[in-house]
Structure 1
Amino acid sequence: MLQHEFWLNLEYTWLAEQIGATWLFPLFNSLHVISITLMLGALLMLDLRLAGVAARVYPYRLLSRDFLPWIWLAFSVATITGIGLFITRASAHVLNPAFQWKMLLMLMAGVNMLIFHHRSVRLAEGWDRTIPLSIRLAGIASLVLWAGVMLGGRWMGHII
């Protein structure tokens, strides 16, 4: 009960009310979708390269140098706008199974990225010829996890 009150109080903050009751909600929603699209488009290129499925003629280091700044910028915008959207209906979102799955899959995708980036700093030099199986699997896992995050986000409005 106390936890539910926390989420309700969050909905009644000045910021949540300003976002939820004004033109800011559709703006945040649009920016959220656009930033996710940009992030996933760039991430798709990297993950497909890691999986060895596409862009094999391009060195991984070149692709990561070009795409990672865009991925992190878009992820930052998606996170800020997502939090803004969340606080407008926090008490409903935390109970929504689709939202719960989205957050769990996003956490798993983040852990996958952290583990991958930790390994990639040390090992990426030789990847232009042969990508290790563990790295290929990390790329495939990233694709699957982020697809699940997107599906969870889409299903949120349809599951009560």
Structure 2
Amino acid sequence: MIVPLLQHLCQLLYDSSFGTAIRESDYAFSIIESVHVLSITLLVGSISVLDLRMLGAVLREVPVTKLARSVFPLTWSGFAISVVSGFLLFWAEAAKNYTNPAFRIKVILLLLVGLNPLIFHSSIYRRVSEWEFQHRSPWRARTAALVSLLLWSGIIIAGRAIAYF
């Protein structure tokens, strides 16, 4: 019952005048897509700096909480712009994306990447004061960082592959 409803909603978005306007415009889709790519760069770039710090690859002398406070405004800005621009891109091609395997993989990876910080912040990060000055974070923090980098890489690859399916 949910599957036909989702497919119907996707078709409604695709057939809407707004979705058609984005899709058929000489510039709108390209501009929105460019904004989406740039916002993902901001989002993933800022997250990657923190992940790489927790892996001990960069900025080892900077406390984790100080770095987190510095990058989170960029992360949240990139996230907000990515969500809006991504939804507009989806709206323009919702019916096509519904059956696109790369899009489905991207959605699954987005759900997983959303769970990663929830688990991280509700577990190992609660005790960050005990390890934030260490050059090498605890194995659970390093694991969360590695999972984050892998998931974001997968999201970027799947997002790019959407155009080819």
TM-score by length of 1: 0.92
- Does residue 151 in structure 1 map to residue 157 in structure 2? yes
Deviates most, 26-35 or 8-17 = 8-17
Instruction: Flag structure 2 segments of 5+ consecutive residues without an equivalent.
Output: none
- Secondary structure class of the residue paired with 1:128: coil
Contact 2:10 / 2:94 at 8 angstroms: preserved in 1? yes
Alpha-carbon distance between aligned partners in 2 of 1:64 and 1:97, rounded to the nearest angstrom: 34
What amino acid is aligned across from residue 150 of structure 2 in structure 1? V
For residues 23-49 of structure 1, the C-alpha deviation after alignment (integer angstroms, 9 at most, x for no partner) is 321111110000001111111100011
Structure 1 position 124, deviation (Å): 1.5
Structure 1 position 120, deviation (Å): 5.3
Alpha-carbon distance between aligned partners in 1 of 2:72 and 2:4, rounded to the nearest angstrom: 41
Matches within 5 A, 1:1-160: 2-3=4-5, 4-22=7-25, 23-119=27-123, 122-126=126-130, 127-129=132-134, 131-159=137-165
What amino acid is aligned across from residue 38 of structure 2 in structure 1? I
Query: Aligned-pair RMSD on alpha carbons?
Result: 1.6
Structure 1 position 121, deviation (Å): 5.0
For residues 91-122 of structure 1, the C-alpha deviation after alignment (integer angstroms, 9 at most, x for no partner) is 11111111111111111011001111223552
Alpha-carbon distance between aligned partners in 1 of 2:162 and 2:29, rounded to the nearest angstrom: 16
Alpha-carbon distance between aligned partners in 2 of 1:121 and 1:144, rounded to the nearest angstrom: 20
Alpha-carbon distance between aligned partners in 2 of 1:89 and 1:157, rounded to the nearest angstrom: 11
Percent identity between the aligned chains? 32
Structure 1 position 146, deviation (Å): 0.3
- Secondary structure class of the residue paired with 2:123: helix
Instruction: Flag structure 1 segments of 5+ consecutive residues without an equivalent.
Output: none
Alpha-carbon distance between aligned partners in 2 of 1:2 and 1:144, rounded to the nearest angstrom: 32
Alpha-carbon distance between aligned partners in 2 of 1:152 and 1:81, rounded to the nearest angstrom: 17
Contact 2:124 / 2:140 at 8 angstroms: preserved in 1? no
Alpha-carbon distance between aligned partners in 2 of 1:5 and 1:121, rounded to the nearest angstrom: 42
Question: How many aligned residue pairs are there?
Answer: 159
Alpha-carbon distance between aligned partners in 2 of 1:84 and 1:49, rounded to the nearest angstrom: 33
Deviates most, 100-109 or 5-14 = 5-14
What amino acid is aligned across from residue 81 of structure 1 in structure 2? S
